[in-house]
Amino acid sequence: MEQKTLVCVCPECKNMVDLSRYPNLKVGDVIECQTCGVTLEVKNIGGGQVEVDIVDEGK
Ligand SMILES: [Zn+2]
- 12 Cα: distance to centroid of ligand 1 (angstroms): 5
pTM of the predicted structure, to 2 decimals: 0.84
3-state SS class at 41: strand
CA of 33 to the centre of ligand 1 (A): 5
Q: In whole angstroms, give the CA distance from residue 53 to residue 17.
A: 13
Q: What fold, for 1-59?
A: Rubrerythrin, domain 2 (2.20.28)
Give the percent of the chain with pLDDT over 90: 83
Q: How far is the CA of 27 from the centre of ligand 1 (A)?
A: 19
User: Which residues make Cβ contacts (< 8 Å) with residue 35, sequence separation at least 6?
Assistant: 10, 13, 15, 17
CB 49 within 8 A of CB 11: no
Q: Which pLDDT score, from 0 to 100, does residue 56 have?
A: 84
Over residues 4-10, mean pLDDT: 90
